[in-house]
Amino acid sequence: MVEHKDLTLHINGSNVGYDPENLAKNGLAPDTAVRFHGHGLTEFTGTEADAFKEWFEISGKGAGPVQSGAIQIAQTESDAKKAAVKNDANKTARAGLNPEKDLPDGVETKKD
């Protein structure tokens, strides 16, 4: 949620509309109109769009979600989806475990 110029703007996050009691397989939420590749999509028009762009410029000057890239602006839905796919390829600090090589001695895996 962003408050700017007497407006309250609700920004969709990756879990918007997601039921935590009904986890999708592998923990990934399905894509919807407001979520794509684990990124929330929000569309603002008119005065809300103007207020959000102004807030975005101000917020980008200091540490926070704009400067870290957690909140971005795209001109079209297509551009937003391209950015989500591109950001989806970012590596985390830790690589996943390979059960064939990385498990301690004596630990076995079992098929589901």
Q: What is the mean pLDDT of the chain?
A: 78
pLDDT tens for residues 1-50? 888 889 998 888 776 666 656 655 555 666 777 777 677 888 889 999 99
Query: By residue range, what is the domain housing residue 25?
Result: 2-88
User: Closest Cα to residue 19, out of 11, 9, 29?
Assistant: 29
Give yes or no for a contact between 41 and 35, defined as CB atoms under 8 angstroms apart: yes
Q: Is residue 106 part of a domain?
A: no
Q: Is residue 94 part of a domain?
A: no
Q: Is residue 35 part of a domain?
A: yes
Q: Is residue 49 part of a domain?
A: yes
Q: Is residue 12 part of a domain?
A: yes
Q: What is the pLDDT of residue 18?
A: 66
User: Closest Cα to residue 40, out of 63, 68, 17?
Assistant: 17
Number of separate domains in the chain? 1
Q: Is residue 101 part of a domain?
A: no
